[in-house]
Amino acid sequence: MNKIKIAIQGELGAYSHIAANSLFKDAEIKTCASFEETFKQAYEDDNFKIIIPIENSLAGRVADIHYLLPKYKLQIHGEYFLNVEHNLLCKPEATIKDIKFVRSHAQAIGQCQKIINKNKFQPIISADTAGSAKDLAEGKDKTIAAIASELSAKTYKLKILEKNIEDEKGNVTRFLIMGKNIEQPEFKKEKKFITSCIFRVKSEPSALYKCLGGFATNQVNLTKLESFSVKNTFDQANFYLDLEGHLEETGVRKAMEELGFHTETLHILGVYEASAFRQK
């Protein structure tokens, strides 16, 4: 049996890698240097799925993803919520007294200010958390530590000086599982579904109001609505929308038909089963 192929942004040990391991046992993981390269991998090879972080409970939405969604038009096959736990990693021979610098992604640095300030570490901003761990393992400087996952420590044979060093607990990242092929689950009343889309409103008064009216009249609950600018213009905006429900439900279908009537462009990103995390 062929292994499932998953592309992620970042190095092995990244939080996307942890999500992939949780979702797909023994998957073949391909690392990509950028989010665009990750999307491109699945766009050019439909044997690949990608696991992409779209938002974080502390930091908000992940930059660039909203612009890549309409560009590559991959389909969302599912969602996954991961509890993010940061760890302070060092060379096997190092101690806390040796550490003068700490390297990681800017968000991880920002989320671990208490331990950085307490020990007067000098931050070094890096492209990603797992990449910081990999650089640390390949280097010889034991005065540098990295903030990364426990999987990164295991992958690169680093020592964990301290676990769960984030300032606030309950740090959760939402990931999307995406691919080129449409995989729409069959509607079942006992299950909860999410439908996601991106649309662009017409440039006219009350355009957004008209777009959203159908959801109110058909009693469809929106769980997320975000705007982001159309490139090279300040005149229009695209909107990313998540709603509770399946396209086969009458209310959802009618609301989407009305949305389509009032928009310049409308692209359905996917219909997928809602994560059990939403019911907590």
- Which is higher by pLDDT, 280 or 5? 5
* Domains parsed from the chain with CATH numbers: 5-83+172-179 (3.40.190.10), 87-162 (3.40.190.10), 193-279 (3.30.70.260)
Task: Give catalytic status of residue 143 as yes or no.
Answer: no
For residue 252, the one-letter residue type is: V
Three-state secondary structure of 240-252: EEEEECCCCCHHH
Task: Give catalytic status of residue 173 as yes or no.
Answer: yes
Query: How far apart are alpha carbons 233 and 264 in whole angstroms?
Result: 15
Please, which residues bridge with residue 226 across strands? 240
Q: Could you give the dihedral angle defined by the CA atoms of residues 61, 220, 218 and 75, in that order, rounded to the nearest 10 degrees?
A: 60
Task: Check 39, 175, 215, 239 and give the catalytic one.
Answer: 175
Answer whether 33's CB lies under 8 Å from 56's CB.
no
53 pLDDT higher than 80: yes
Task: Check 31, 38, 129, 173 and give the catalytic one.
Answer: 173
Closest C-alpha to 129, from 113, 97, 151: 151
pTM score, two decimals? Answer: 0.92
pLDDT in tens, 190-248: 999 999 999 998 878 888 999 999 999 999 999 999 988 776 666 678 899 999 999 99
pLDDT in tens, 171-195: 999 999 999 998 889 999 999 999 9
Please, which residues bridge with residue 123 across strands? 102
133 pLDDT higher than 80: yes
pLDDT in tens, 6-37: 999 999 999 999 999 999 988 999 999 999 99
